[in-house]
Amino acid sequence: MSPETIKAEVGIIFLTWAFAVELVTGIEPALLARESDRSGPL
């Protein structure tokens, strides 16, 4: 496997895990919350 393939798979696994955690807990993971804060108030 190439490093790019491994990185892509890790990214997909992380996003899937983050989505599952949000569904179960109703709380957005810290990393996603930090990304959305950068967009500023609507």
pTM of the model: 0.46
Average per-residue pLDDT in the chain? 74
**8-27 tens-digit pLDDT:** 899 899 888 888 877 777 66
Check: CB of residue 28 under 8 Å from CB of residue 34.
Answer: no
- Name the band, by pLDDT with cuts 50, 70 and 90, for residue 32: low
In the prediction, which pLDDT does 23 show? 73
Extents of the domains making up the chain: 3-34
